[in-house]
Every structure is written in C-alpha cells, then in structure tokens.
Amino acid sequence: MKIVVVGGGVAGLVTALSLHAAGMTPLVCESARELHAVGVGINLLPHAARELTELGLGDALDAIALPPERLVYCDRQGRPIWEEPLGLAAGYRWPQYSVHRGELQMLLLDAVRTRIGPDAARTGMAFERFAYQEPSRHQESFQHQVPGVAAHFADRHTGEPVVIEADVLVGADGIDSRLRAQLHPGEGSPRGNGVQMWRGMSRYPHILGGRAIVVAGGRPGDKFVAYPVADPAVEGGPTLMNWVLEIRRPEPDEKLDRSHRPIPTEEALAELSGWDLPWIDLPELIRGSTGIYEYPMVDRDPLPRWSFGRVTLVGDAAHPMYPMGMNGGSQSIVDARVLAWSLSRHDDPVRALGQYEHLRREPLNQLVLANRELGPEKIIALAEEIGGRVPVEQATAVSQGYKELAGCTTAVLNSRDSWSVSPVMP
C-alpha cells in the first residue's frame, strides 16, 4: 500500500515510520525547501514516549532529551501551590521527555531516511490539492477496482507541478493544513484567545533541583513556564532552558499576528519586570536567550469528520489545541501509531480510516475543548481565585480527570495492548 504523508513535522515523520513498521510504503512530502533543527522545547508525555520506544527510537530519544521528574505549579511570587511526579517517578513504565523540537525532528527525519530510504522524505513539495482517481473503464475487471488519490504539489525547487498517486493520503501539515482546508472549505483562520506566548531558549543553570517543569502565575496571559531540555555539560554548569512568558493583548479580537515576530530583549525585560520568582534570575535568563519570538495561542474548533474516502488527517491538522497539559505533540504521535495499526487490520483503506477516526476523533475533540477550559492548569487558576493552595482532593481530581480524558493514566497506559503491528509477509 502506497501512502503519501503531507508534512514533515513530528506528526508526519512518526506517521511514516509507523506505516513502514507495519509493512506499508510511505512517502513524506514537506513544503519547506530544507529541514533544519529549529524551534523551542516540547514535552513528550509517557504515552508518546512509549510509542517512540516501540518504534525502536527509545535509546536515540534518551540521548537527546531530559526526563523531568516533577511538575511544580507556583503562584506569581514563585510559591509552590501544587506538585506531582512525572514519568517513571509517577509509576509509568515509560519516562516523560523534555526535548528541543528541532532535534527531535532531525532524529525522526534521519530514521525515516535510514529505514525507508533516502528519498522517503521529499522537501520543497508544496501541497496544493488532491483529487480522487476513478478506475479506467478500459481496464480489465473495472468492477473490482477502487479509486485512489492523486496528490498535486508544486515543486519549490523547480517550479514544476508534481502529481503523486497513492492508495491513501494523510494530512500532517499542521494547524494551517491545506489538506484540511480542502476537506472543510470555508473554515477560516485559527481561533485565538488573546494570549501571546513569548518563547525562548537560554543557557541557564538548573532550577528547583533540575528535573522540574515549572508553571508560575494564574490564568492564560499571566503565566511563566520554564523547563530544561538537556543536562549541563559539566556539573553545576548551564543547561539549555526552554521558557515561555504569556501576555494578554488589550484587544484580543484584533487580527492575529502570526508572523512570529522577534521580541527585542529590552521589551521582554520590561514585560517581566513585574515578576519576582526567587528561584530564577529572569533578567539573566532573558539576556542569555539566543532569540525570543512571539506565538499567538490558537486552536481550531473540533471537526465533525477527519476522513473522507482514502484521505484523513493526523496531529495538528486534525486537532490543534491550546498548549495546556503538554498534550499536542504527544497526541500527534499516538495518532500516527493508531492510523498504522488500523490500516494494517483492513484490506479496505476506507474502512481502516473509519476505524482510526472512530478511535481517535471524539476523544481528541473533547481534549481540545478541555484545553480551552485550562486543562490541568485549572489548578493554578483556582489558586489565584482563592488566594492560596487548592485543597489536595480538588487539585488531584483536576489532574487525574485530565489524564483520564487524555487516555494517559498510569493504569491505562501501563496495561493496554501495544499499537505495534508486524508487516504481513507476501
């Protein structure tokens, strides 16, 4: 079975690796002329780490990532209000990982080209549209044929149009997916909540013991997040620290600026001047950043349908969500694995895509909506409202309820069957 995957990000590359592991022939088509290790930090929750481990990437991932051991919520003065263990420390059989998104993407790209072939990921291929292919009436056994899909691209290297025929077409082209736009015309632009995220990476010593993800503040637009993505090269030295400052625009309904504009150091320092977190020197962190960029907090409304015939969506193309609970990238990886598992179980790709959507769409739609309601970060919003710690029983209920919704409690993840499948031998 030949499958074209539109998009060479994390979702698209894991989709290709999962399909190949199940005995299929994937081709990744990425719009960028070249792929480089760019971006900031990302967290892979244990359910994503399990999938990458079962793809044989566990050791490679462990070599470039840091496994955090605890999540600490603090108020605006840096005082702890809630803490919980993460990964192995929480009883999962797999760690959680904090990693540089660009390094993760390069790891996956290398695996695709090594395992599937050097031409398995083509860059400079800008997706334009797809068309269903009807079988020719001049061919024998017309009644036994099924339509395929023709994916139309513009080759950005040559300027020439390219048409690639496939049995299945997968949209993994992110929140601005052109494939999604064809499936759901008229949907419009992503939905913002008025919050801008200023994101940076800086060389800075470990904070709060080193293995911590720290979220300080209250509601969206008044939060600071920091976590390391690598250990120091020498004991006591600086690590690579990912940080995020959320600010709220005074006019949230104005047209979204999604240019990822660079933020001058002095502007970031001025915005952080009202923060006083005793466990971190914010001016030092900001001045050490290699670059600070602005990203609006956006998502899209849940879709009533992902799959149309032999075409479907994965990752942010299917369910872009606000970054609450660190679930966006992790759920994209699970999508890829469930899609490959479903396609391996059916001779009819249309039925397979239907099963994949049945397993994934409604839970992910609910997660998108839950993240609009702050997800697990409702704990720090409640603490801000009451002016102190949230009762343990209430905070535990919020945290556990979100894990249940995301399908990543220790009981579920540690006991459920694997999505791995063995290819069918001819």
Range of the domain at 163: 2-189+301-415
Q: Which stretch of DSSP H or E encloses residue 387?
A: none
Average pLDDT over residues 370-376: 96
In a domain, residue 388? The reply is: yes
Average pLDDT over residues 1-5: 96
In a domain, residue 399? The reply is: yes
- pLDDT above 70 as % of the chain: 95
In a domain, residue 213? The reply is: no
Q: Judge whether residue 139 has pLDDT over 50.
A: no
pLDDT at 27: 98
Angstrom distances, CA of residue 113 to CA of 28, 56, 369, 393? 10, 15, 36, 49
pLDDT at 129: 97
In a domain, residue 221? The reply is: no
CA 312, CA 16: separation in Å to the nearest integer?
14
Summarize pLDDT for 255-309 with one digit per residue, the tens: 677 888 999 999 999 999 989 999 999 999 999 999 999 999 999 999 999 999 9
Summarize pLDDT for 203-244 with one digit per residue, the tens: 999 899 889 999 999 988 999 999 999 888 777 789 999 999
**166, β-bridge pairs:** 149
pLDDT at 252: 52
Summarize pLDDT for 74-125 with one digit per residue, the tens: 999 999 999 999 999 999 999 999 999 999 999 999 999 999 999 999 999 9
CA 323, CA 370: separation in Å to the nearest integer?
11
Under a CB-based contact definition with an 8 Å cutoff, are residues 6 and 171 in contact? yes
In a domain, residue 217? The reply is: no
CATH number assigned to the domain comprising residue 148:
3.50.50.60
What is the maximum span of the chain, computed from C-alpha positions, in angstroms? 76
pLDDT tier at 254, thresholds 50, 70, 90: low
Under a CB-based contact definition with an 8 Å cutoff, are residues 69 and 212 in contact? yes
In a domain, residue 106? The reply is: yes
Summarize pLDDT for 71-84 with one digit per residue, the tens: 999 999 999 999 99
Summarize pLDDT for 35-68 with one digit per residue, the tens: 888 889 999 999 999 999 999 999 999 999 999 9
Query: Which is more confidently placed, 183 or 135?
Result: 183
In a domain, residue 220? The reply is: no
In a domain, residue 100? The reply is: yes
pLDDT at 44: 98
Summarize pLDDT for 22-31 with one digit per residue, the tens: 999 999 999 9
Mean pLDDT, the chain, as a whole number?
Answer: 93
Q: Judge whether residue 322 has pLDDT over 60.
A: yes
CA 269, CA 54: separation in Å to the nearest integer?
43
Domain count for the chain: 1
pLDDT at 146: 53
Average pLDDT over residues 336-359: 97
